[in-house]
Structure 1
């Protein structure tokens, strides 16, 4: 219905011809219901006028009002087949014309308002798309600079820290790639985003060790800020599993499950590796996961499984 109001109008002849057809069909319907609507000669013409004004424009509404008044007076108001009307009938026709003109004018105002809103939404979407593109380019430049610093670093620990920082920058960049504009400022298809993210992490080890990353994610669209939070959490948990769960040449499977749980969201990452050593101190990645979960009113739970280790993150305010 909104698209009808905001859409481009037909040419004048087509609009008036279509309006005449609608009013004529209404007159035929009124004639067929003569026994039921004998005391209401004008009633059925109100929706006809509104429809013409709604689908076409104000002028079509005015035209439909005049034509409807003429047909009603000529065909259905006594004396029939004559335009000699007076008294209450004349007042009724006058009120009909006044209401018809008012409906047509009001509908035109509504049409113009919706057209402006539609244009505003398109402009917002373009601005959002351009912003996402520029942000992605800036993040790509930052990522390239970090990579150069990592390669130039002589200390392995520094190089590893820079690589981890670069991975986090890329998580944000990938979210910007998948940003789609809407009335809420931009949403991301979380399933597509997480699958692409985990595929990239798995590709890093494709030719090194036989470790697969499998993803199961409910079809969820979330605000870009939430997608970045979830992406960073998944990135840290999967990276930790790839780094520590499979020592030596050992292979295995890392499973990522992102699911909707009512108004909440759960992120579960499980590996079938060596598990977590007792007394191990949480690293920067684990601290980051807890911080991100806390920001969204969530919690983090770790548990040892029969083969490997499982981290379960519950997000209390995912913007679903």
Structure 2
């Protein structure tokens, strides 16, 4: 790398000497010095040589600056990817420890609570996993489709259903800021998990999940074929942990959410993209 730098500067110096000799032949430097003391018209060939000299000099200076900026940018992106990779590994360790602890428990409710906690950590870990493998120079965004596909498939493995199951997904292939992706994943995790746990009817579980980006707004819908929400269900008065998390994160996103009964539970939420 050092040798290449020396070679670049040597080329610039040689070109500078060449232009100097040409300009010397036309008395260009003398005219340039004299120009500050007297106002006389230059010949066209003298102006052309001066323009050429300045243009080439500025061109090479700019090329060197661009080269250095690109190198610094690559170093920065490499560092950011490494940081994201390490954060992902920390979350993976936490997720694994909690899951292993749940395997030691015999109390079903306690075991289920730890598994759900592990899945919540997994939604955050997945964001950093995507960021650490991002190939482009933009280290702040991830693919919406890839992220939600990983989440939905991962949740199906964590909460396997004993019933026959059908999963239909339709996610747009746009990009989303990692901070919003984390919030989206937390909400998605709570709603999707609820469908996995309570969406079965007559031994059959069907879940449809979609995410669309339209007019700088992300719209996510999750529905199942279960019994749906209770008639007296009120999301604003419900005190369960899952719904409390959903409402808090929706407020953070400045979004809206609706819960309906159609052929089962139908939940849709939207938020503006940054």
Instruction: Please report the TM-score for the alignment, with normalisation by the length of structure 2.
Output: 0.80
Whether the 8 Å contact between 2:200 and 2:206 is mirrored in structure 1 is no
Find the counterpart in structure 2 of residue 83 from structure 1.
Answer: none
Shift of 1:240: 0.5
Number of the residue aligned with 1:50: none
SS in 2 for 1:178: helix
Map 1:199-278 → 2, pairs under 5 A = 199-204=153-158, 208-246=162-200, 250-278=203-231
Q: 1:315 aligns to what? A: 271
CA drift at 1:60: 5.7
User: Structure 2 regions of 5+ residues with no counterpart?
Assistant: 26-39
Per the alignment, residue 29 of structure 2 pairs with none
What is the root-mean-square deviation in Å for CA atoms of aligned residues?
3.0
For the 8 Å contact 1:199–1:213, the answer to whether it is kept is no
- Structure 2 CA distance, aligned partners of 1:96 and 1:293? 64
Is the contact between residue 216 and residue 256 of structure 1 (CA under 8 Å) also seen in structure 2? yes
Per the alignment, residue 145 of structure 1 pairs with 97
Instruction: Please name the residue that 2:33 is paired with.
Output: none
The answer to whether the Cα contact below 8 Å between 1:191 and 1:218 also exists between their aligned partners in 2 is: yes
Partner of residue 160 from structure 1, selected from 77, 88, 112: 112
> Is contact 2:199–2:206 with CA below 8 Å preserved after alignment?
no
Q: Larger relative contact order (C-alpha < 8 A, sep ≥ 6)?
A: 2
Q: For 2:248, which of 281, 291, 310 is the aligned residue?
A: 291
Q: Alpha carbons of 1:100 and 1:66: their partners in 2 closer, same or farther (altered >3 Å)?
A: farther
Q: Deviations over 1:157-178 (max 9, x none)?
A: 2221111110011111111111
For 1:126, which of 48, 71, 78 is the aligned residue?
Answer: 78
Residue among 58, 62, 73 paired with 1:110: 62
How many Å separate the matches in 2 of 1:279 and 1:158? 27
| 1:92 pairs with 2:44 | yes
SS of equivalent residue, structure 1 residue 303 = strand
CA distance in 1, matches of 2:14, 2:167: 63
Quote the Cα distance in structure 1 between the aligned partners of 2:189 and 2:94.
18
Larger Rg: 1
* Aligned residue in 2 for 1:301: 258
Aligned ranges 1:43-62 → 2 under 5 Å: none
C-alpha displacement at 1:61, in angstroms?
8.5
Counterpart contact for 1:129–1:181, Cα < 8 Å = no
Q: 1:101 to 1:279 in 2, by over 3 A?
A: same
Matched position secondary structure for 2:43:
helix
Deviation of residue 62 (structure 1)? 7.9
Contact 2:226 2:265 in 1 (8 A): yes
Distance 2:258 2:71 in 1: 47
Where structure 1 has 5 or more consecutive residues not aligned to the other structure, the ranges are: 1-7, 13-55, 71-86
Paired positions, count:
248
Structure 1's 288 and 298: CA in aligned 2 closer, same or farther, altered over 3 A?
same
C-alpha distance in structure 1 between counterparts of 2:220 and 2:241, whole Å:
19
